[in-house]
Amino acid sequence: MLILPELNIFLFSILFLFISISNKKENILTYAKAISALVFFASLLSVTESGELFSGAYRIDLFSQIFKMLILLGFCLVTFMFENKNEIEDEYLPEYFMFLGFSALGLMMMTSSVELISIVISLEVSSYSLYVILPLRKSQTKIQIEASMKYLFFGAVSTGIMIFGMSYLYGIAHSTFLKDIIPVLPGFLNQPIGVMALIFTLTGFFFKLSLFPMHFWSPDIYEGASNTTTTFIGTIPKLAGAALLIRITMLAFPGSPQFINILIVLAAFSMTLGNLVGLVQKDIKRLLAYSGIAHAGYLMMGVLALSKEGNAAVFYYIAIYMFMNLACFYVVILLSKTGENVTIDDLAGLSKRSPLLALLLAVSAFSLAGIPPTGGFTGKLFLFMSAFKAGHLPIVLIGAVNTVISIFFYLNLVRMSYSKDVPLAEPLKLSFHEKVLCYLFIFLILYMGILPFGLFEIFKASI
């Protein structure tokens, strides 16, 4: 029962491995949808499990279990969002789901790892799977090759830096276990070696989160990869990245001014850069990439508070971010006719073509921008409050100004779909399951905005 979620997703991948080497390759999509749902619901049984494995290197607690459930839910939603018409050649579908599953497995392992080497291994498990599926795209052009190369190189570099930082951590504590590092590290945080060790180690997760300065990959990969792959890469790894960020920065309690200052600078650059460059984007996926960079910056506000509330706020925000980001990508997936990228101009007249889709886009865009009563606002409020409480007024002000800047392009999405009229707009018919998914996203975003206390308490308790 301890590793039920991991086991489930592992079996999922193995199943698709067997399908890929067999000759039966019909109805893959239906299988994938049904089984991923099964995997999610079966794994729910183990939410309350706790224990340790591999002589304490792998810890199962409420924190990791909730993150695993979120990752699985995200994985399941991505599978459900997959559209038959587009993107991946049919013959590669089994492999596609196999690697997607392995990647999710790696991410889930990350959330449970409390030892440096297992962190590296699980991070690589998830990354390597993604390296494989990134170039898979039906309309073969050059951009997805470039994208996958970039992802590979940047991934490798950030892993290298991370391992470099970890070697310092090991040098400080003479142990790879986080529980041994915790008591020693704060004493070193006033020295360059401690700060460097921690920052370098975090770089690997900055990469996953696409936080400045490890953000370079994201716009190109978002643009180059197929829509579904982007949906996965742009959303799910960030959960694991945030989880590890929370786990590792907890080491730094109570923190040193140097360390916090570095985080503040990174957060400020990340949001400002993401939002300013986001203003000029035409491709929606690219826009979402820059929005992701900006959101990584917001997220850091909770991290640098170095408090329990701050971490709970990060937890809450990454959860709501998953839903609103997936919702935005869903609009892209449904709008794209043959799997090509969607530009902002393609949104024109959306509210006439499909009111539900336009509503979904509006709700998720307002949520990304942080307008009440959506979850994006509540999450941002928690982040702002925890940073403010820790005495970081400047970063809160920068965040507030950034919120205003970001409104321009989020609102632009809504504006195109509502106030631009196109004469020949053919209606967009949504199937039943697509409608259900749209309503589910709208419900989740509003629910997390209006009634946050239950979830927030659970998240806080888990940390």
Of 412, 423, 435, the C-alpha closest to 345 is 412
Task: Considering the complex, state which of residue 345 and residue 457 has its C-beta at the smaller distance from another protein.
Answer: 457
Task: Considering the complex, state which of residue 189 and residue 344 has its C-beta at the smaller distance from another protein.
Answer: 344
Stretch 389-448 residues interacting with another protein (CB under 8 A): 389, 396-397, 400-401, 403-404, 407-408, 411, 414-415, 418-419
Query: What is the rounded (10 degree) CA torsion for 320, 321, 327, 329?
Result: -170
CB of 373 to another protein, least distance (A): 5
Of 359, 337, 338, 335, the C-alpha closest to 347 is 335
Question: Is 134 in a helix, a strand, or coil?
Answer: coil
Q: What is the CA radius of gyration of the chain?
A: 21
319/448 Cα distance (integer angstroms): 9
Task: Considering the complex, state which of residue 333 and residue 413 has its C-beta at the smaller distance from another protein.
Answer: 413
Residue bearing tokens 């400002």: 272
HSE toward the beta carbon, residue 416, CA cutoff 13 A: 17
Q: Which stretch binds another protein (CB under 8 A): 179-187, 243-251, 254-262, 449-457?
A: 449-457
Task: Considering the complex, state which of residue 3 and residue 294 has its C-beta at the smaller distance from another protein.
Answer: 294
Q: Which of 67, 217, 321, 366 forms a contact with another protein (CB under 8 A)?
A: 366
Task: Considering the complex, state which of residue 177 and residue 388 has its C-beta at the smaller distance from another protein.
Answer: 388
CA angle, residues 264, 269, 273, in degrees to nearest 5: 155
Q: Which of 128, 131, 177, 388 forms a contact with another protein (CB under 8 A)?
A: 388
270 counts as binding another protein under rule CB under 8 A: no
Residue 390, token pair as written in the block: 């820790």
CB of 418 to another protein, least distance (A): 5
CB of 437 to another protein, least distance (A): 19
CB of 257 to another protein, least distance (A): 20
232 counts as binding another protein under rule CB under 8 A: no
HSE toward the beta carbon, residue 441, CA cutoff 13 A: 32
Stretch 280-339 residues interacting with another protein (CB under 8 A): 309, 312
Q: Is 315 left (phi over 0), alpha (psi -120 to 50) or beta?
A: alpha
Residues 115 and 57 sit within 8 Å (Cβ to Cβ)? yes
Q: Which stretch binds another protein (CB under 8 A): 92-100, 193-201, 279-287, 367-375?
A: 367-375
CB of 267 to another protein, least distance (A): 16
Of 181, 165, 154, 292, the C-alpha closest to 235 is 292
HSE toward the beta carbon, residue 73, CA cutoff 13 A: 18
Binding site for another protein (CB under 8 A): 309, 312, 351, 355, 362, 366, 371-373, 377, 381-382, 384-385, 388-389, 396-397, 400-401, 403-404, 407-408, 411, 414-415, 418-419, 452-453, 456-457, 460
